[in-house]
Amino acid sequence: MGQEQQPGRRAVLGAAAALSAAGAVTLGAGPAAQAAQRRPADSGGRGHRGELPTPCVIAHRGTSGYRPEHTMGSYQLALDMGADIIEQDLVPTKDGHLVCRHENDITATTDVADHPEFASRKTTKTVDGVKLTGWFTEDFTLKELKTLRAKERIPKQRQHNTLYDGRWDVPTFEEVLRWAEQEGRRRGRRVWLHIETKHPTYFRKLGLGLEKPLARLLRRYGRHKAHSPNFVQSFEPSSIRRLSGLVDCPGVVLLSGPTSRPWDFVEAGDPRTVADLVEPEGLKWIAGFAQGIGPTLDLVIPRTSSGTLGEPTTLVRDAHARRLVVHPYTMRNENTFLPADFRRGQDPNAYGDAFGAFKRYFETGIDGLFSDNCDTALLAAADFRGDG
């Protein structure tokens, strides 16, 4: 994984920024919206090309605050609630089908442990340097995987979601594409997806590279173009670079904690960490093959030693200077996930002042936000734009 540049698609994003600035006029007349309008078209990258509002709301794993994540029920509710974009995480099956799971380890999100016929598939693996014991998608054919039922990943925190345990199976990405097509027709609007390749280097070494099958599916459903309603995203920059050679969809490089290293960097001996990538030089490098970044919220506003929100970094400004959209992750309404100054009461699973936190994050100028609670996020975004 070298650092050589390849041509980005800045021309497209330039047009996008202009469209965006024009489009903003119709979004509302509140102070925030006016500030957004004042920002010159060339001061920040935009990936939404006038169709998505700013900030846009990305339904994280669907409506994972209310449904077992990455199920058709989770995606459907997100769309019904009006989410601007719906996220899928992709992992492969043994026979190379792409399915929607946050991890290839499906121990926590399916009923696989209750299937005696799969007991012998339980195993210990090292995935991206982490030792895991459980069941893994790459050890199941699609037909086998389809006999499992999805369940809530964090039942203690989100007991209400367990009501839907066993209701839906593990969707293939192609099922999602078909559903998006149908729903788009039915609603007279395009259904936007934010599609992540998970552990791409790990799977490549198993002969299960994700990018080609993903590109093939996007092409089959006419979603491979620069103006198609999707983003592709990955924690491994090389996966985004690879995809940029296969499809024209805007790519988003995900960025974890500052000391972390993308796993493809580890494998390739690239010494850079996320702390390097968020520097202007790192962003310039990313802009050579990607159109956005997806940093943790803490990279946008670090938390203080007491867990409260500190002062915003220059990341949003620096990324916009490179015409990169900024889609941070993840806002969740529960106290346990909120910055300390937005918690309310003692119950970790109670909701804190999520609206206050959304506002602080939106004020940094981010282009969109991943949230487990897209309904709350949509209300907060409408407030921020002044059209709430």
Minimum distance, C-beta of residue 52 to a copy of itself, in the bound complex (Å): 19
φ, ψ dihedrals at 90, nearest 5°: -115, 130
Q: How many Cα atoms occupy the beta-carbon half-sphere of 118 within 13 Å? A: 23
Q: Report the residue number, 43 or 162, with the smaller CB distance to a copy of itself.
A: 162
Minimum distance, C-beta of residue 361 to a copy of itself, in the bound complex (Å): 16
For β-strands 130-134 and 123-127, DSSP reports them as antiparallel
Q: Report the residue number, 6 or 346, with the smaller CB distance to a copy of itself.
A: 346
H-state helical runs in the chain: 10-24, 31-38, 72-81, 142-145, 173-187, 200-205, 211-220, 237-244, 263-268, 274-277, 280-286, 297-300, 315-321, 354-362, 374-385
Burial readout 43-72 (b: 16 or more C-beta within 10 A, e: otherwise): ebbbbbbbbbbbbbbbbbbbbbbbbbbbbb
Q: Report the residue number, 152 or 211, with the smaller CB distance to a copy of itself.
A: 152
Q: Report the residue number, 45 or 65, with the smaller CB distance to a copy of itself.
A: 65
Q: Report the residue number, 82 or 222, with the smaller CB distance to a copy of itself.
A: 82
Q: Report the residue number, 40 or 188, with the smaller CB distance to a copy of itself.
A: 188
Minimum distance, C-beta of residue 350 to a copy of itself, in the bound complex (Å): 5
Calculate the CA dihedral of residues 291, 60, 50, 362 and round it to 10 degrees. -90
Minimum distance, C-beta of residue 373 to a copy of itself, in the bound complex (Å): 9
Applying CB under 8 A, the residues found at the interface with a copy of itself are 73, 77, 80-82, 159-160, 162-163, 167, 333, 345, 347, 350-351, 354-355, 375-376, 379
Residues 6 or more apart whose CB falls under 8 angstroms from that of 2 comprise none
Residues 6 or more apart whose CB falls under 8 angstroms from that of 343 comprise 335, 352, 353
Q: Report the residue number, 246 or 379, with the smaller CB distance to a copy of itself.
A: 379
Distance of CA 268 to the CA centre of its chain: 25
Cβ–Cβ < 8 Å for 378, 77: no
Minimum distance, C-beta of residue 64 to a copy of itself, in the bound complex (Å): 15
Minimum distance, C-beta of residue 96 to a copy of itself, in the bound complex (Å): 30
Minimum distance, C-beta of residue 195 to a copy of itself, in the bound complex (Å): 24
